[in-house]
Amino acid sequence: MKKFLLTIACSAVAALTFGQKEIAVTLNLPATNDVITQGVAFDLDFTVTNNGPDDLVVEDTVYFGLALDGQLVTQGVYAANRTTGTIAAGGSFTYTTDIFSFPQLGDNNQHSFCVVVLLADSDSSYNFVSETDMTNNQSCNDIQFAGSTASTTEFGQVVNAISAFPNPATSTVNFEVSTGAEEIVIYDVNGKAVRTVAVENEIETVDVSDLENGVYFYAVRFENGEVKQERLVVSK
């Protein structure tokens, strides 16, 4: 797992700085023995603790990456939190988000699910800190991925279907959804919801003209509780 930490640090950042700031992470959700259903969103929740000796200040930013069985599964690292106030040594904050784009296996086996955190220090032009002890910058739980519970017809065809066009989108994107869809949510790569649309039509047109170019994910929630997600690209 130390190799995994090194992979994140080397591939995602251009420089490291040595400092007096140390952080640790504890993965809360998914918890040990949790069962995650393939194709269904799940909660990611972890606590970051300041191991000191220096304070974390409001400009400092924590980034995170996710791994499954020791392999990085998200494309790089993502901003988890820019602290909203000073966090003294021994203090902590908890970060929670929905995960829609994780490649669940659906094999009904247990897997080691890990979160890894890095600290971007505002005192060093946001270079990532090379901490004295980085072994506690990771936390893992053994969880199980179950097969999809998608609704099917008596002929075995999937009922809950989604599509988006044009994709890549420039100013608007059309979401075509099957009966039973209730809500469409567009997320950026940090897991932040940038659009939420209540489904009233078979094809919903959404304005994305003010979104920055890049990769997004859209999730469609159905009345039976299923959530289906796909990638959306905005390119103007």
Asked if residue 153 belongs to a domain, the reply is no
Domain-located, residue 152: no
Q: What is the rounded average pLDDT of the residues 80-97?
A: 80
Burial 194-233 (b: 16+ CB within 10 A, else e): bbeeebeeeebebebeebeeeebbbbbbbeeebbbbbebe
Domain annotation covers residue 157: no
Residue 107 pLDDT greater than 60, yes or no: yes
State the maximum Cα–Cα separation within the chain, in Å, rounded to a whole number.
Answer: 63
C-alpha 99/C-alpha 68 separation (Å) is 14
Mean pLDDT of the chain: 78
Examine the fold and report which residue of 115, 146, 177 is the final residue of a domain before the chain moves on.
146
Phi, psi of 51 (to 5 degrees): -90, 5
Per-residue model confidence as pLDDT tens digits over 145-164? 876 544 444 334 445 678 88
6: Cβ–Cβ under 8 A, 6 or more apart, which residues? Answer: none
- The residue out of 117, 146, 175 marking a domain boundary is 146
- Domain count along the chain: 2
Asked if residue 18 has pLDDT above 80, the reply is no
Could you tell me the CATH number of the domain that includes residue 10?
2.60.40.10
Do 37 and 119 fall within a single domain? yes
99 and 138 belong to one structural domain = yes
Domain encompassing residue 192: 162-234
% of the chain at pLDDT higher than 90:
25
pLDDT for position 104: 62
**Quick check: is 85 in a domain?**
yes
Do 90 and 168 have their domain in common? Answer: no
What would the pLDDT profile of 28-39 be if each residue is shown by its tens digit?
A: 999 999 988 776
CA separation (Å) from 64 to 80, 118, 155, 222? 6, 6, 43, 30
pLDDT value of position 6: 44
43 shares a domain with 123:
yes
CATH number at residue 226: 2.60.40.1220
Give the predicted TM-score (pTM) of the model. Answer: 0.59
Q: Answer yes or no: do 67 and 125 share one domain.
A: yes
Helix and strand element counts for the chain (H, E): 1, 18
